[in-house]
Amino acid sequence: MAINHLVSALGLVGALLGLGGMVFSQIKPGHSTTTMVLEGVALLCLIVYLTGNWKRLKTFSSSRSTRLGLNSILAIVLLTGILTIINFLTIQHGGWWDLSETQHFSLAPQTLHVLGHLEQDVRITVFAHEDTEGFRTYRDLLESYMHATPNISVTYVDPEKEPARAREYAISKMNTAVFESGAQTIQVTTPTETQLTSALIRVTKDHFKRLVFLEGHGERQITDQERGGLSMARVKLEAQGYRIVRGSLRHDPDLLTNTDVLILCGPRQAFAHEELQQMTRFVADGGRLLVLLDPRTATGLEEWIAQWGLVLGPGIVVDPVDRIARGSPTALLVRRFTTHPITREFTTPVLLPVLQPVSFDPSSATRLTFTSLAQSSEHSWAETDFDPKTAPDYEEGQDIKGPFALAGAVARATGTSEPATVPSLVVIGNSAFASNTYIMFPGNTDFWLNTIAWLADESTLIAISPKGASFAPFIPDPVQEHLLFAVEVFSVPFLLLLLGIAVWRRRQRL
């Protein structure tokens, strides 16, 4: 008898704990462990109650008063309670699956990389109304962030209900998220993965790497917002937490002091001998260098980089396979990458318009290693007599047959007993890919950011950057385009014609 009373009490306790756990999860969303314990105990109590009263339920259900369905109702109520708790626990603590074809609803590799290396606590306070789209977007994204790391805590505040909290953080706009870690504070006003990951990177940094864009030789400008400028490339670097500086060695001899990476982006004029000497000392002292040189420009840098075994040209790369469909064969849509850290996880092509090949001469460089980052196809060639007004055509004995390295990374040995290397230079035979015209192309963004991250020794940032709001477009190569054209323009209409003839002949026989 005492056991029966205990079993009945467990049923009541289980129901109360199940309901209490659900209410507690809404009041204290950050205490997931407590919620899981409450729901787990409730589930155990209900199962014990159902098992202990199974014979009584069968006897009760055999009486005339319950034959019309009361027993079924009672069983349904108990099973519904158990299934509700199991479903609740699955939602709160179960696995995460993204079954979309493009994995659009999964966090990007860079975000997962950053979260996986997050060692300090980050507090995020979201100021938004619960019934707004911004609130729901923040909640969906930040739940994924918290699922990936225990070092992130999120609090949601309605600024109209708690105006004092809003004034404390100087909130002037709805749908604002405040990231805090140590003494650092960052505000985000756009609920996108790109903005959230950028804020997470910046708020956890104590030291910001210094990048210098050299000027004074016709280079592309980071302040230029026109099609050929680098303003959008600068914004993307600042979002990664870099400190961006621009200047001229002629006017500022100390420009390279405390510089991590020096960037030469599309110079058009020759460099002075003193400038070349300064840059040589910078690299010799451990500085990192990114050189983006457009073909058919005379700057003297082609001879200068030869001291590291690097050779640019000759000619302009033509690739009839890896190019923009129905576009110029000199506007390459590069799809062939190596296993270098910069391009290891690349799946999106990089658009490189009008570039020259890169090669390496090991005989003129000691203790240096060269790695090709991107390759042209075996059908490519270097057009040595390029005329933009005419279609390029391969000429045996004059043009050079591919494939070619289109970008290369040079690393130097550390000098220790272990065969380790450290980044030194990256050379790309084109600068337009980083301009405002092309930088928003998904592959170009990743290529640009990964190259800087490798040179700056920011291994956490070397990954595929967070996706935007739209799905990545399908970009066919020339073969795929011709196949699609044949299917859409010829095959489908031809099949419809045959079907029409077959139907017509069948009707004629009736």
Please say if the pLDDT value at position 208 is more than 60: yes
Please state which of the ranges 78-92, 218-232, 326-340, 463-477 shows the lowest mean pLDDT. 463-477
Collapsed DSSP state (helix, strand, coil) of residue 380? coil
Reported as a single tens digit per residue, the pLDDT across 25-50 is 666 655 566 767 777 777 777 777 76
Please state which of the ranges 106-115, 364-373, 456-465, 484-493 shows the lowest mean pLDDT. 484-493
What is the H or E stretch that residue 24 is in?
A: helix 2-27
Q: Identify whether the C-beta of residue 406 lies closer than 8 Å to the C-beta of residue 421.
A: no
Local confidence band at 408 (pLDDT 50, 70, 90 cut-offs): very high
The whole-angstrom separation of Cα 474 and Cα 325 is 12
Does the 109-202 domain belong in CATH 3.40.30.10?
yes
Please say if the pLDDT value at position 369 is more than 60: yes
The whole-angstrom separation of Cα 265 and Cα 231 is 13
Q: What pLDDT was estimated at residue 469? A: 46
Q: Which tops the pLDDT comparison, 265 or 42?
A: 265
Please state which of the ranges 11-20, 111-120, 387-396 shows the lowest mean pLDDT. 11-20
Q: Identify whether the C-beta of residue 129 lies closer than 8 Å to the C-beta of residue 135.
A: yes
Alpha-carbon distance values, 213 to 18, 205, 455 (Å): 61, 22, 14
Tokens of 49: 């109650």
- Mean pLDDT across the stretch 256-264? 93
- Mean pLDDT across the stretch 257-279? 92
Query: Most confidently modeled of 25-39, 188-202, 386-400, 494-508?
Result: 188-202
Please say if the pLDDT value at position 74 is more than 70: no
Collapsed DSSP state (helix, strand, coil) of residue 491? helix
The whole-angstrom separation of Cα 48 and Cα 51 is 5
Query: Most confidently modeled of 112-126, 260-274, 493-507?
Result: 260-274
Q: Which tops the pLDDT comparison, 156 or 11?
A: 156
Q: Identify whether the C-beta of residue 464 lies closer than 8 Å to the C-beta of residue 110.
A: yes
- Average per-residue pLDDT in the chain? 80
Amino acid code (one letter) for 211: L
Please say if the pLDDT value at position 68 is more than 60: no
Residue keyed to tokens 């890919």: 433
Q: Which tops the pLDDT comparison, 75 or 170?
A: 170
Local confidence band at 277 (pLDDT 50, 70, 90 cut-offs): very high
Local confidence band at 329 (pLDDT 50, 70, 90 cut-offs): confident
The whole-angstrom separation of Cα 450 and Cα 447 is 5
Q: What pLDDT was estimated at residue 425? A: 92
In 248-376, beta strands by DSSP E: 261-265, 288-292, 310-312, 316-318, 331-334, 336-337, 350-353, 358-360, 368-375
Share above pLDDT 90 across residues of the chain, in percent, rounded to a whole number = 23
Local confidence band at 324 (pLDDT 50, 70, 90 cut-offs): confident
Q: Which tops the pLDDT comparison, 326 or 500?
A: 500
Local confidence band at 63 (pLDDT 50, 70, 90 cut-offs): low
- Mean pLDDT across the stretch 471-493? 61
Strand 261-265 and strand 288-292: the pairing is parallel
Domain coordinates in residue numbering, the chain: 2-93, 109-202, 208-461, 485-510
Please say if the pLDDT value at position 309 is more than 50: yes
Closest to 467 measured CA to CA, from 87, 180, 205, 103: 103
Please state which of the ranges 241-245, 377-381, 499-503 shows the lowest mean pLDDT. 499-503
Q: What pLDDT was estimated at residue 12? A: 67
Closest to 239 measured CA to CA, from 284, 280, 189, 194: 194
Collapsed DSSP state (helix, strand, coil) of residue 453? helix
Tokens of 91: 């939602």
The whole-angstrom separation of Cα 185 and Cα 301 is 42
Q: What pLDDT was estimated at residue 22? A: 65
Closest to 214 measured CA to CA, from 170, 251, 249, 259: 249
Local confidence band at 292 (pLDDT 50, 70, 90 cut-offs): very high
Kindly state which CATH superfamily the domain 208-461 is placed in: Class I glutamine amidotransferase (GATase) domain (3.40.50.880)
Q: Identify whether the C-beta of residue 151 lies closer than 8 Å to the C-beta of residue 118.
A: yes
Q: Which tops the pLDDT comparison, 245 or 57?
A: 245
The whole-angstrom separation of Cα 79 and Cα 88 is 14
109-202 and 208-461 have identical folds? no
Query: Most confidently modeled of 91-105, 175-189, 258-272?
Result: 258-272
Closest to 356 measured CA to CA, from 431, 447, 269: 431
